[in-house]
A and B are shown apart, each in its own frame.
Chain A
Amino acid sequence: MAGILDVPKPRINCSMLSQFINRAVCFVGRVEKVHPTGKMFTVMDGEGNAATVELNEPLEEELSGIVEVIGMVSNKGEIMASTYNMLREDKGVPFDLELYNEALKVIHDFPQHYPFQVAASR
């Protein structure tokens, strides 16, 4: 877990998962379904596509709304989560997932303007 915190974690959506296999990423999406075991759940990104998130330990709380997951992308395109962060829905301005997706596209379309120092390899 400590290792992942030191490394830049590009923000991605479902369409970019395949390009970040075995890399650390940050994925923001809306919680869809939580597996009964609590060790897995699906999230939907701003484009309407879903990704699967796997956890090391089962969830200890109700997961709903928008969540930010940090983890590694597996060979199968699933996110092995190191940590997650639920965005509060009761406070502040509601999170606009579609707008976030638009921003994501901009960041990836113009990498020269958004040099987040992605490590060359793991």
Chain B
Amino acid sequence: MANLSAGAIEALANGSGWNEAVLQLVNIRKIDGGSGPSRFRVMMSDGQHTLSSFMLSTQLNYMAEKNILVPNCVCVLKRQVTNMLKDGRRVVIILEIEVIKPAEEVAGKIGDPTPYSDGQSKGQQPAPVPESRPPLQQQNRNEVTRNVKRDFLKKAPSALPDTPGGSSKVVPIASLNPYQSKWTIRARVTNKSSIRTWSNSRGDGKLFSMEIVDESGEIRVTGFNQEVDKFFSLIEVGKVYYISKGSLKIANKQYTSVKNDYEMTLNGESTIIPCEDNCDVPMVQCDFVSIGDLENRDKDAIVDVIGVCKSVDEVTRLTTKSNREVSKRTLSLMDMSGKLVTVTLWGEEAEKFEGSGQPIVAIKGAKLSDFGGRSLSASFNSTMMINPDIPEAYKLRGWFDKEGHAMEGQSLTEVRGGSGRLMENWKTLADVKSEHLGHGDKADYYSCIATIVFLRKENCLYQACPSQDCNKKVVDQQNGMFRCEKCDKEFPNFKYRLILSANIADYADNQWVTCFQESAEAILGQNAAYLGQLKDSNESAFDEIFQQANFNTFIFRNRVKLETYNDESRIKATVMDVKPVDHREYSKRLIVNIRKMGAK
């Protein structure tokens, strides 16, 4: 038999508070939130009194929706916060509650509780309210409920002083909602983005965002334009601040892994003040996903991970499509699941990363991609921590030193390397035709494994301008001089260059391709100059080279594009790169494909 905490209702209502109050749920009512999540208003009893000004925090909505919280059940109120309204009434926000006796086991209402009236002035609200009865009635009438909701929405000066200091009342992040605007929170900044600017038809602007955490949870905060100027330089990651009067709205979960239904925007009234006493605010809130589990997550998901940096590669620089140069570095992360995943860092983070000594690396808000199977990327929104001071890090360190260091680990990211090549896009030569690659307005690139079945040795060489960077065909002036139109100069010599037309085939289809200098030399196994010489001097040796080159198999990286010459459109394929077949990689890929097909 559960004994209710007699006196708890009074204590909660008058602000004295009560830990682990055992209460009976008398009534629960859904309040439609309009554009946001619904709220549930609850009436609780301690056997002596009832109080209907309890609100369920949105993270507990599921308890109401799943009928865990139903009238007559007995619960323990584990965590709550009491907010004061302008008229002195209190609202208790339920942050954590546990049902210790389901309704079926309770024979109706326990005791004979009466509604608690806290004796405060139940003053009329300025808004025209027909019956402003205090909401502390046993029966929750509709109109009363609406009253209470209106109070919540009202922007009235609250009991909380504007300037947070020793006397201010701090509320937990988990209790923040759009219906109350007068609050102060005390939280640590775990992640701050850089200032981003935009310029569109409606004008320009700038923004920055950050994530903050306290004991109850975390939330994402964004500041625009003037707020950027006001707050950006003030905020330091890792420090604790009192923040008040931001606006709350429904969170856009696409860009963040932060667990909160809402996100905050700083406005003209918001204040951010550094807090000196910060030892009990947690450092960071992360919901780490095991690396082995990443296979089950959808691509483009935002996740938090932690692992040992087993290996790290050198920084490389590459040029993006928008012709920006950016630094990139990949590292390999392993955790106790025995699985490895490749993580890509960009920009300054990539350059500054110090991976020696196999540190523990934690990344909050990394983006999961299906590149190579599964891989992670640190975006501008992610926070990376090296050897963080959190229990998971110590656990990993202990595990790694004992057994992890000897494990090979199984990588979720199959295709590693490929300098600068972002996507390999394996296709059969039949796919290239059936998928109409190259038919769009941009060229398509694909990789394939194919065998050379024909090489055209006629007209594979041409005479090119001897200048360093010029490869234009020169005109033979017939007087021992060769003219280059591009350089507008004449030369007594030229350099031979290759344009090799070849037919390559795989089991599915064949394809005519053009190979330029580098790829042609790789296929023929000779340089252009030597070939040119041979063609003039020793024809049978020249032919022999082509014979030898025929029927070799390579990995081709090709570019296809539809090109139009005089009303005729043809698909042109060019070999960008030729490589010997890596049989291990090929085998692994085939086995993966076979298994995938077998599973369907």
Contact = CB atoms under 8 A, between A and B. Distances in A.
Interface stretch (A1-9, A53-61, A98-106): A98-106
A110 B591 CA distance: 12
Contacts of B584: 93, 96, 99
Interface string A67-102: 000000000000000000000000001001001001
Interface in A102-122: 102-103, 106, 109-110
B115 to A, nearest CB: 70
Nearest to A96: B584
A110 B594 contact: yes
A93 B583 contact: yes
A103 B586 CA distance: 12
A110 B590 CA distance: 14
A102 B598 contact: no
Contacts of B594: 106, 110
B587 A103 contact: yes
Contacts of A103: 587, 591
Nearest to A102: B591
Nearest to A95: B584
B416 interface: no
A96 B587 CA distance: 10
A106 B598 CA distance: 10
Contact residues on A (Cβ < 8 Å of other chain), bracket: under 10
Contact residues on B (Cβ < 8 Å of other chain), bracket: under 10
B588 interface: yes
B598 A109 contact: yes
Contacts of A109: 598
Contacts of B587: 96, 99, 102-103
B474 to A, nearest CB: 44
B588 A99 contact: yes
Interface string B546-584: 000000000000000000000000000000000000011
Contacts of A102: 587-588, 591
B583 A106 contact: no
B583 A110 contact: no
Interface string B122-163: 000000000000000000000000000000000000000000
A110 B588 contact: no
A101 to B, nearest CB: 10
A102 B591 CA distance: 7
Contact of B598 (A96, A99, A110): A110
A99 to B, nearest CB: 6
Contacts of A110: 594, 598
6 contacts: A96-B584, A99-B587, A99-B588, A103-B587, A103-B591, A110-B594
Interface of A: 93, 96, 99, 102-103, 106, 109-110
In the A-B complex, the 4 residue pairs with the closest CB atoms:
A102-B591, A106-B594, A96-B584, A99-B587
Given A93-B583, A99-B587, A102-B587, 15 more contacts: A93-B584, A96-B584, A99-B584, A99-B588, A99-B591, A102-B588, A102-B591, A103-B587, A103-B591, A106-B591, A106-B594, A106-B595, A109-B598, A110-B594, A110-B598
